């Protein structure tokens, strides 16, 4: 037996605000493998997330396979659009959803984690962040502000997390992000600069793996996951169509489960993946390999014996 064992490891996942997305599934997989898990939550969603937990609305989701209940070690406010608190504009700082959360910037998160866990108290960081305010607009109609926001929050924030948190990593540290096929191929409707952001995220994974690997000895990978009907994905507007298309045209014609991405993340964060870095790992039922549609066009694949 070759188990995935994360006992004694501390993980931080940026971008968890409910139990419906890849970030939560990864948190649960880490907990199943024995890691302690902290999360970072966007301040406007933080209050609702805390109430869901306090009122037991997520009890079923928090239950692990051995009967234990997953507990988050810490829940931090995080708006990864800002490296420092001084970067946030006055309207954000004065907003009631922000002003009582403390320092919600990446620098503030780093300082809080140092106070809580010490200078070398971290093993795994997951970037599960994406925001494109104009995602429903075609790229050609996307404003400069919308485009830069998408790239800033969805790609540059990963660079900032690596720069700030890698010095806190113990030997064998691992960073992981989540990307999507639109960074490589055209997905009509996935607009607002989000395709560009995912392309940047994948390119940055390779460069950061080299630079941060040489500087701090950490590994950096990204998972290219198939479409999932998470609450956040509903912002795209046609997620159900994406899921049906992927399911119909993948080598494995089945629906992707968030837990499958979680299991892959646990493997990549574990010592079993010690030699894997700078990689895009596809968890999409093989859809990335297809060059021609099978089902929606009416073309059937050739019979196989």
For residue 63, the model assigns a pLDDT of 97
Report residue 16 as tokens. Answer: 């968890």
Over residues 197-231, the pLDDT tens digits come to 999 999 999 999 999 999 999 999 999 999 997 76
Q: What is the pTM of this model?
A: 0.94
**Beta-strand pair 280-283/219-225:** parallel
CATH 3.40.1280.10 for domain 10-286, yes or no, is no
One-character DSSP codes across 141-154: G--HHHHHHHHIII
State the average pLDDT for the chain. Answer: 94
% of the chain with per-residue pLDDT over 70? 95
Please check whether residue 168 is in contact with residue 106, taking contact to mean a CB–CB distance below 8 angstroms. Answer: no
- Cα-based angle 63, 260, 135 (whole degrees, multiple of 5): 100
Quickly list H helices, the chain. 22-32, 43-54, 59-62, 90-93, 106-117, 144-151, 157-165, 194-216, 239-249, 258-269
Handedness of CA 110, 115, 120, 125 (dihedral sign): negative
pLDDT of 126 above 50: yes
Over residues 234-288, the pLDDT tens digits come to 667 678 888 999 999 999 999 999 999 999 999 999 999 999 999 999 999 999 9
For residue 28, the model assigns a pLDDT of 98
For residue 241, the model assigns a pLDDT of 87
For residues 100-124, average pLDDT: 97
Over residues 159-195, the pLDDT tens digits come to 999 999 999 999 999 999 999 999 999 999 999 999 9
């Amino acid at each position: 037996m070759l188990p995935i064992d994360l006992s004694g490891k501390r993980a931080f996942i940026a971008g968890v605000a409910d139990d419906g997305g890849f970030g939560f599934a990864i948190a649960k997989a880490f907990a199943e493998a024995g890691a302690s898990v902290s999360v970072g939550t966007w301040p406007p969603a933080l209050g609702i997330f805390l109430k869901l937990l306090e009122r037991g609305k997520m009890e079923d989701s928090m239950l692990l396979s051995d009967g234990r209940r997953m507990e988050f070690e810490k829940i931090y406010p995080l708006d990864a659009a800002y490296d420092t608190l001084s970067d946030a504009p006055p309207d954000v700082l004065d907003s009631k959803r922000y002003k009582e959360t403390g320092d919600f910037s990446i620098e503030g998160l780093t300082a809080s984690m140092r106070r809580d866990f010490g200078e070398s108290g971290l093993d795994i960081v997951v970037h599960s962040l994406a925001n494109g305010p104009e995602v429903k607009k075609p790229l050609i109609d996307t404003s400069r502000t919308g485009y830069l926001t998408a790239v800033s929050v969805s790609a540059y924030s990963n660079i900032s997390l690596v720069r700030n948190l890698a010095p806190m990593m113990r030997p064998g540290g691992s960073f992981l992000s989540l990307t999507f096929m639109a960074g490589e191929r055209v997905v009509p409707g996935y607009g607002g600069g989000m395709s560009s952001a995912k392309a940047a995220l994948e390119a940055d994974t390779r460069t950061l793996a080299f630079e941060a690997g040489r500087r701090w000895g950490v590994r950096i990978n990204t998972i290219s996951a198939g479409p999932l009907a998470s609450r956040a994905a509903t912002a795209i507007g046609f997620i159900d169509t994406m899921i049906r298309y992927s399911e119909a045209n993948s080598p494995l014609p089945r629906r992707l489960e968030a837990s499958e991405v979680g299991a892959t993340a646990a493997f990549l964060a574990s010592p079993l993946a010690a030699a894997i870095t700078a990689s895009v790992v596809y968890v999409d039922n093989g859809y990335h390999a297809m060059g021609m549609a099978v089902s929606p066009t009416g073309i059937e694949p050739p019979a196989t014996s």
